[in-house]
Each structure stands twice: as structure tokens, then as C-alpha cells.
Amino acid sequence: MGSQLGFIGLGQMGQAMTANLVAKGHLKSPLIIYNRTQQRAEEHGSKIGNCVVARNLEELIDACDVIWTCLVDEEAVSEIFALILKLHIEGKLFVECSTIPPDATSQLAQHIQDKRASFVAMPVFGEPGMAREGNLICVPAGSESCIKRIQPYLDGVICRAVIDLSGENPAKATLLKNIGNVLIMTTIEQIAEALVFAEKSGLGTRHMKSLISTMFPRPPHTVYSSKMVNGDYAKGESIVGVGKAKTLASRIQDLALASKTSLKSYKVAVDHLTVAEAEAGPRCDIMGIYGAVRVESGLPFGPVDSNI
């Protein structure tokens, strides 16, 4: 008999992941979902089908033996698990997908294990569009037996690849996620600079986009370049706001400082987050780095290049 799955957190990422679990996860029973905003859960449940909306956390925890969480930030994770830890959770497996610091992961794992439950940290790489297409990269860490329980729901269901850290401390997964943000931010910075250079030189962004998609045909490069030249970041369509990105960046810079690591190119990208925030506010999307490079190069914050 298959495990009864529950899923807590229905932001853009949670909605995409649950839709794929229902559509491709071969679930033996309806997925049970919960969101602090009940209406969002009801609307999403009616859209994806084959799921049940829990009225409260206790109802979901009681009914499920594998519980996934994907929450907006560390504060939300702390609030939800403060409530969960008051419930009877012995024997249950928690799969935590949020982006939180490694030390917070260690503390949470210990609290869960103290209650005789199991814990897998499984942060994911990819933005909501990639999540909808099942193109995430999942990084599970924890006991080998626990990760085996969730493997049927990973590759080919919610993700395209798995970096398996079976047997590793769960904090290793979130450490990789945090350090991986250096790759994400510097990639955004490099694409932004190349597109602005192409526009300023008279080449135009269309040809640069073609080069990017040819050299890097898989996400995220093509996704980033399209969002930049389409000006999504300047339209109030935020996926990851620069305010939230700056908070994460500060944490990563602290980790780098503690390990005596130089992150010069990352600092350039972080500085451009500050420029984007000044131009469009903290809810401006992280792709506003492109707008910041444009401003520093004498162009308007929003794209006006017609050669796209």
C-alpha cells in the first residue's frame, strides 16, 4: 500500500509541485493539501483534482504519513513547524523543501527526530515555470531509507534530476542550496551584462538571446534571458522579490565570510539587487539585476530595445 502524501504550502512552487504529484505521481489515494489561506487551497484543489483540502494542520498530519512542506521563507517554516511539533507525529516522514539556513535545518531535523519522526531536507533548484514543467533539480539529504520512500515522486514527476545526498546530514542539502544561489545570481548577472552589451554595441538583444539559447538550451539560461528582455521584472510580476533575495544574499555572504571565501562576482550581483530595489522597490523581481545593469550603462531601467 502506498504512502498517504500531504503537502503544506501552496505558493507558486507548491502549486506547481502538487500539480505534478497529482498528474504524474501515480498516487494510490488523493493528495491532501493545506495552505494558511484556505481559499487558495480550495481553488488550487479544484484545479488539479484528485486531492483533498485539509481544514487545518492537525487534520493533515493525522491523515498522512509523508508530509511535504514548501514555504516562503525561514519565518514561515518556523511558524508552521512550531504548530506541527505540538501534534502527534511519531513515525511520520517530513520532506522539507523550503530555502532556509543550514543551522535552521539542523535544528528542525533534531526537533523532528526528538518526536520519533523522520526528516529529509530537500531544497529544490528552479523557478515556478520550471517547476510547472517538472524541470526542477531536487537535493534530498537524510537517511537512505527515507529518501527511497520519496524517490518515486522525484525524477520524472516533480523534477528532471536528483542530487542524492542519502546518508548525509540534512543540513548538507540546504548548504548546497545556499551556495547554489551563488551560481544563480552570478548567472543572472552574466546574462544581464551580455544582453546590455549587445544592445549598447548595436548588435541588439535578439542575436544574443539566440546565442544564449544555442549555448545553453536547457533552463535556466533561456528562461532568464527571456524574462529580462520581455521586461517582466518591470511589470510587477515578481517571482523572487529583490528584498527577499537580498536577505538570502546577506546570509550567504555571512557563510562565505565564516569560511574565508571570496565572492567578488557575487557581490556585484548583490549590489545590483540594491540598485533594482531603489528603482522599483523590494517586490521588484530578481531579474531586475538586468534593469540595474541597464541603468549603470545609461539605459532606462525597463527594456525598450525593439530588436528582441
Of the candidates 92, 177, 209, 227, the residue annotated as catalytic is 177
d(CA 190, CA 193): 5
d(CA 41, CA 258): 41
**35 within 8 A of 28, measured Cβ to Cβ:** no
CB contact burial 241-267 (16+ within 10 A = b; e otherwise): bbebbbebbebbbebbeeeeeebeebe
227 tagged catalytic: no
C-alpha cell at 251: 546570509
**Number of DSSP helices (H) and strands (E) in the chain, helices first:** 13, 11
Instruction: Quickly list H helices, 139-241.
Output: 144-150, 170-201, 205-215, 221-230
Amino acid identity at 33: I
Task: Give the residue numbers marked as catalytic.
Answer: 177
